[in-house]
Amino acid sequence: MTFSEGVRIDPGRESGGRGGGRRGGIAVGGGGGLIVVVLALIFGFNPGDILGGGDTGTQGQTQGDDAFAECTSAEAANTNIDCRIIATAESLDAVWERLLPDSGGPAYVQPGLDIFAGSVSTGCGGATSATGPFYCPADQTAYFDSEFFDLLETQYGANGGPLAQEYVVAHEFGHHIENQLGLLNRAQQDPQGPESGGVRVELMADCLAGIWAKNATTVPDPDSGTPFLAPLTEQDINDALSAASAVGDDRIQSSQGGQVNPEAFTHGTSEQRQRWFMIGFEQGSVDACNTFETNDL
């Protein structure tokens, strides 16, 4: 999926500067425990649950005000991953500003967006690049290290492609929508198991990402009046589904040489994650995405 020619991007949408670094020069502590953090928190929403809310033991270089200055056009979003994250966030803002109130929810409040490298301080505690993308409800901010997308392909076997990357951003914004709807805290109350609140929260975020994908090609950039994204191709959809499948609990457990243990699930199976993305994409309804109202996950 590519951003449409003429779309304008505001680099100021990235609201970082919380002590995270940019590219290189980062000493990461934690040893082998970092792998545990990656597996537990890929696409998760609260690193503080595992990191304990403490210091990461690292120091990141503060990014300058002009770190994303080039992120002003569709061309930049189509060639630069950091710019793509920002452009996707602006598309998500435009989609949810319309759809959330129309679905009977509250007025949409934009979440913060922080693109970091190495380490970052958040309202949920310290985090490192090993955490993967996450949403922190305490400061209502989605955090991304763009180097994660290489890991998604090389370590977890996902297809590449822009929509796979944009799906990750849309999933984390999905957690923000859940937070606005008062559903996100159910993951903490019931975090683990095949029908747990944790799994339901993650599958709902996948579904909400599908809603965004359905609408992103028609909702316009408010500055240019041009739809943010070009029409989806079959390959785009396959890329997004591949990303969803790559981080299914069953696939991750199997890849680590262990048996699949549903009682340890926190995010849902590969099949479930793909299916709920497609429910959102095909039905386009927040009500259809409410995983807390179904016994058929």
pLDDT, tens only, 190-248: 787 778 888 999 999 999 999 999 999 999 999 999 999 999 888 888 887 777 767 66
Which of 27-31, 47-51, 62-66 has the weakest average pLDDT? 27-31
Residue 46 has pLDDT above 70, yes or no: no
pTM, 2 dp? 0.82
Distance of alpha carbon 84 from alpha carbon 183, whole angstroms: 28
| Average of per-residue pLDDT values in the chain | 79
Distance of alpha carbon 120 from alpha carbon 15, whole angstroms: 13
∠ CA 224-229-221, nearest 5°, is: 25
Residue 38 binned pLDDT confidence (cut-offs 50, 70, 90): very low
Q: Give the start-to-end residue ranges of the domains of the chain.
A: 11-293
**What sign does the CA torsion over 81, 125, 105, 112 have?**
negative
> Cβ distance 125 to 51 under 8 Å?
yes
**Residues above pLDDT 70, as percent of the chain:** 75
pLDDT at 67: 82
Residue 34 has pLDDT above 60, yes or no: no
> Cβ distance 76 to 154 under 8 Å?
no
